[in-house]
Chain A
Amino acid sequence: MSAHAGFIVAAYGVTAVVLVALVLWVVIDGRAQRRRLADLEARGITRRSAQKPTTGKTGA
């Protein structure tokens, strides 16, 4: 390896750390959001668009 091996190793090392951190960020955040949604749905809370209409014309 060259006299500048330290610079090459440091450049690839920093890149690896940042890219792994990005991957971990999206994976951990994705799990957290999925868990939040599952907890809310388990409590019977649904999105407005998924709710059945409870008011409106009844044909009476």
Chain B
Amino acid sequence: MNRLDKRDELKAILEEALQEFPDIQLPSAFTETLISKLERKLEWREVLAEFGLKIGLVVGALAILAAVLFFPDKNSEIPVFTYLLQNWQVVTALAAIFLFTFFFDQVFLRFLFRRNK
């Protein structure tokens, strides 16, 4: 091989090297890992959205009930409200227990069961 041929060959090798990537591959399970990660994320989001919707329904229903009781006669004292306001600590504790139980049942347990499937 003469010098010109060698030069052309080396230049070709340089070009090839620029167009190649060192032989380091992505793990073969990359796509599968990614898809399962994404599915878990979507499930988690769906469960949280459902939980939010249910809480919204409960709070909304209570708000409507309160409005129905309150608006017909704004000036009179409603015994239920008075009782709730006077015992706000108990009411808050009960609401917290309800929220925690509801969250545990609707979100945490469902997420655990789905994950173990």
- A-B interaction: no
Which residues of A approach B to under 8 Å, CB–CB? none
Which residues of B approach A to under 8 Å, CB–CB? none
